[in-house]
Amino acid sequence: MEELVGVTACVIGDMSSRPNFGLNELDFVFSTLVVGSILNFVLMYLLAPTAATAATQSLPSIFASCPPSHMFEPGAYGLLNRMGTFVYKGTLFAAVGFAAGLVGTALSNGLIKMRKKMDPNFESSNKAPPTVLNALTWAIHMGVNSNLRYQTLNGIEFLLAKGLPPFVFKSSVVVLRCLNNVIGGMSFVILARLTGSQAAAAASLAPAETENDKLRLVNDDLQNNDSAPSSN
């Protein structure tokens, strides 16, 4: 469900934050699709409690006394321990985001280069995102934004599961995860603009200026004709 619904919602959110619904930046959207597919799976895998290992599952080193799955996990955990889970998971997500960002950006840029070789006349409307900078942007997005959203989402779902009938609860999960991924896609575009990792090419003003020049010339000619003395 997370891959089908989540990734689709993430791409919709990503495209809705771009000019012309992302149709002029499909290379960036494709990169988001690749990275998002990897990251959504990893997020669900890392956050989901597993019944078979629930008794022995723990975090390493100084985080050993923290909730093993997410910061809102039920149990006798103090605030510092719950924040420890947030920091640990955020570091983990940032590392995964950086690796997935490298793969997704390199794949997207590689496909663009391949198309240029097949079609020498092809010119991408946007500057290819720098691989490392884009990967770092994904790391920040995953470690802070996605980390906070997904952990909060797990806490909300835990509360809903206690008070809602199964069918209503499952329906609410679909809605919540759709909204969560739309927000995630939109927030990544904003962050990518701020870091400069995905700078859209500036729209060319030449055609508009040329058209305006033509209109001005026509208006000038009409005015000159109106003001010219009659030959009669």
Residues 6 or more apart whose CB falls under 8 angstroms from that of 189 comprise 14, 17, 18, 198
What is the C-alpha separation between 123 and 11, in angstroms, rounded?
24
In this structure, how many other beta carbons lie within 10 angstroms of the beta carbon of residue 94?
20
Distances (CA, A) of 201 to 24, 53, 126, 127, 193: 9, 50, 5, 6, 12
The DSSP line for 168-196 is HHHHHHHHHHHHHHHHHHHHHHHHHHHHT
Among candidate residues 107, 148, 127, 147, the one with its CA nearest the CA of residue 192: 127
Task: Report yes or no: 52 and 27 within 8 Å, Cβ to Cβ.
Answer: no
- Classify burial at 206, counting beta carbons within 10 Å of its beta carbon; exposed 0-12, middle 13-18, buried 19 or more: exposed
* Rg, C-alpha atoms of the chain: 25
* pLDDT attached to residue 211: 47
Q: How far is CA 65 from CA 47, 57, 71, 168, 186, in A?
A: 16, 11, 12, 34, 35
pLDDT value of position 98: 92
What's the whole-model pTM score?
A: 0.70
Q: Where are the domains of the chain?
A: 2-204
Provide the 3-class DSSP secondary structure of residue 106.
helix
Tens-level pLDDT at each residue, the chain (232 residues)? 667 777 787 788 888 878 777 777 777 777 778 777 877 787 777 666 555 444 456 677 788 888 888 888 888 889 999 999 999 989 988 998 898 888 888 887 887 788 778 777 777 667 777 889 989 999 999 999 989 998 899 889 989 998 899 999 989 988 888 888 889 888 988 998 898 887 765 543 344 444 455 455 555 555 555 555 544 4
Structural contact between residues 194 and 17, judged by C-beta atoms closer than 8 angstroms? no
Judge contact between 140 and 33, C-beta under 8 A: no
pLDDT at 143 (0 to 100): 92
